[in-house]
Amino acid sequence: MQVQERALHIDVTIRGTGLEKIKKALAEALPEALVIDDDELIKWESTALAKKIRMNKTPGKLLRAYRERAGLSVVALAEKTGIKYTNISAMEHDARNIGLITAKRLGAVLGVDYIRLLEK
């Protein structure tokens, strides 16, 4: 079983009896939550949206996604990395290449493998 609330994702595995009672209690406590049985799950990687995103990803789009995931503005990322915010913006718009040293600095601050920022 998987329980997913809008911004909070919780994976729960329950074995044995009482599953229906637990699902009912969750539905009452969290009416906005989505409860899915394991046999209903679809792997993200196999969805058309995931394939479309993979086909359209660029280093700049990945940089922006990682920055947004980290909750940083372009200016905040610039301050943390020592890279000018205008250069970060240009990289995010694929108007400027991300070099090896820059990718390492960005990756360290964003908590991602810098290689991801170099792949095309």
Give the tens place of pLDDT for each residue, 54-72. 777 889 999 998 999 899 9
Query: Is the pLDDT reported for residue 6 higher than 70?
Result: no
pLDDT of residue 5: 46
Q: How confident is the model at residue 3 (pLDDT cuts 50, 70, 90)?
A: very low
Distance, in Å, from the CA atom of 20 to the CA atom of 68, rounded to the nearest integer, reads 38
Mean residue pLDDT across the chain:
82
Please tell me the total count of domains within the chain. Answer: 2
Q: Are residues 64 and 101 in the same domain?
A: yes
Give the contacts of 45 (CB within 8 A, at least 6 positions apart): none
The model's confidence at residue 4, banded by pLDDT at 50, 70 and 90, is very low
- Domain that residue 20 falls in: 2-41
Both 29 and 68 in a single domain? no
